[in-house]
Amino acid sequence: MAIAIIGSGISGLAVAIRLSRAGKRVFVYESGATYGGKMGVFEKDGYRFDMGPSLFTLPDQLSDLLDDDLKIETIRLKTLNRNFFSDGKVFDAPADSVAFAEEASKAFAIDKRILRDYLKEAKALWELTAPVFIYRSLHRLKDLIKWSNYHYLYRWTQLKPFTSLHRYNQRRFGNSGLVMLFDRYATYNGSNPYLTPATLRVISHLENNLGAYLPVRGMRSIVDALYQQAIRLGVEVIFNARVSNIVRVGERWELTVNDSIQGYEKVINTIDVRTFYREIFKNKSLLLKESKKELSTSALIFYWGIDRRIEKLDVHNVFYSSNYHEEFKELKRGTKLFDDPTVYVYNSSVVIKEDAPENCSNLFIMINAPTDRGPDWVSWVNQIRPIILRKLEKALGDELEKWIVLEKVLTPRMIETGTGSFGGALYGSASNRIDSAFKRHPNFLKGYPGLYFAGGSVHPGGGVPLCLASAKIVEMLINEDEKNNG
């Protein structure tokens, strides 16, 4: 019997490739008309926009998934991001860690040894946590209680689990803008730096020590290559295929797909687990259990085609709020959008000239937003748009609005409708508690043999590197289960 995968996002395609290479017959069911999940693309009038993830780290994770002729060509960025602070300071963060420490020490009047030590600690923390917390299942006791993990126990204090990321950064960097720069890494998985444990400073290692990359054909090219590889290996990807029910019948799983029942030995769900339990598995108790967990943040995104090149923008740009703490308080309340949000601007045309007409810019403008709780998004968009414009125009010294010739908007409600992400949450559950990693949905479901989970809403989390890691974990779990079952 074959294996069914629900969802053709990056994790669904990655696990399909892994299992197909292992000789499995794999079917991928996608409810939409195309593959890619959140890694969509929008093209019009000569402008091309990556609609979802814009940052690519750990490109080597693709090495064992793609044939040589499908490898992704990438550019390692020289500048991680250009940071615009409310006091007028602008800081370009060098991608080289030594240069970063040197330049940041000058810009923020901090001893460069403090910065070097911080990044060394982030590297050590990655080496400590990745083998256990990221590349293995956290929810099978045998994977945790093994001799190879014992040496981690005496180093657990390095995690700083009882200190918030913000408090830790403030102790290291005082009241400088570097605190916000490093606090922002919490948002990489939709969390709050004032609540999430300082353990999350490990994320800075991926950028500051290992580098930020951009595929030469844009982020969408990652899933394009994965899809081509899957098809080459014989994976069957069926579009407009809505899975509406799944039940265990004897030794197999039966899926109802577009009113037709299909039987499989194993099923891998890669869509949001809350959506899966609500609409497919239809298990109220499991849905209730997941619903008790705090959701990650969502996003409000504007895609602007600009009829000129904005010289003061780099590829990745951050325009910080004058009150970062209050911004996160407002996000947690979720009753309105903060009136001075931190704005992220992704401008791929700086490097990929084909992404915009000559001497033009394709701007991806994003602010953190609460998950969809029934607000009037049309009204909210109309209120926040001029605020964002004024903020950018003031920092850039340019009347940006008059150069907008193309516009598209993506709200949390649209994210939920388009991708199945519950409430539009980008990363499933937030990581605002010390036990969040252990409470994240596992990659299997106890008591339901043959049912597995990958993707951004389950262990180890959201974002391109972690989604690819979840696919690898599922492959390992299936191999272990088959070995144990003879």
Judge whether 245 lies within some domain. Answer: yes
Pairing outcome for strands 316-319 and 343-346: antiparallel
Per-residue pLDDT at 449 = 95
Judge whether 382 lies within some domain. Answer: no
pTM of the model: 0.94
Per DSSP, the three-state class of 8 is coil
C-alpha–C-alpha distance, residues 186 and 327, integer Å: 14
* Closest residue by Cα to residue 396 from 449, 332, 347, 334: 347
* Closest residue by Cα to residue 427 from 320, 249, 273, 203: 273
Judge whether 432 lies within some domain. Answer: yes
Judge whether 350 lies within some domain. Answer: no
What range does the domain containing 60 cover? Answer: 3-75+216-294+420-484
C-alpha–C-alpha distance, residues 458 and 455, integer Å: 6
Judge whether 49 lies within some domain. Answer: yes
Encoded tokens for 147: 């001799």
Q: Extract the runs of DSSP E, i.e. beta strands, from 38-168.
A: 41-44, 47-50, 74-76, 79-84, 90-94
Q: What is the residue-wise DSSP string for 420-441?
A: --GGG-SSSB---STTHHHHSB
Please tell me what DSSP assigns to residue 258.
T
C-alpha–C-alpha distance, residues 80 and 472, integer Å: 28
Q: What is the number of structural domains in the chain?
A: 1
**pLDDT profile of the chain (486 residues), mean per 10:** 95 98 97 96 98 94 95 96 97 97 97 96 90 78 53 60 93 95 95 94 95 96 98 98 96 95 97 96 94 94 97 97 97 93 98 97 97 87 97 94 97 94 93 82 94 96 94 96 86
Per-residue pLDDT at 161 = 76
Judge whether 34 lies within some domain. Answer: yes
Per-residue pLDDT at 433 = 85
> Within the chain, what is the greatest distance between any pair of CA atoms?
68
Per-residue pLDDT at 372 = 84
Judge whether 375 lies within some domain. Answer: no
Run of H or E residues at 203: helix 203-208
Per-residue pLDDT at 147 = 43
Judge whether 40 lies within some domain. Answer: yes
Q: What is the CATH number of the domain that holds 459?
A: 3.50.50.60
221-256: buried (b, 16+ CB within 10 Å) or exposed (e) per residue?
A: bbbbbbbebbeebebebeeebebeebeeeeebbbbe
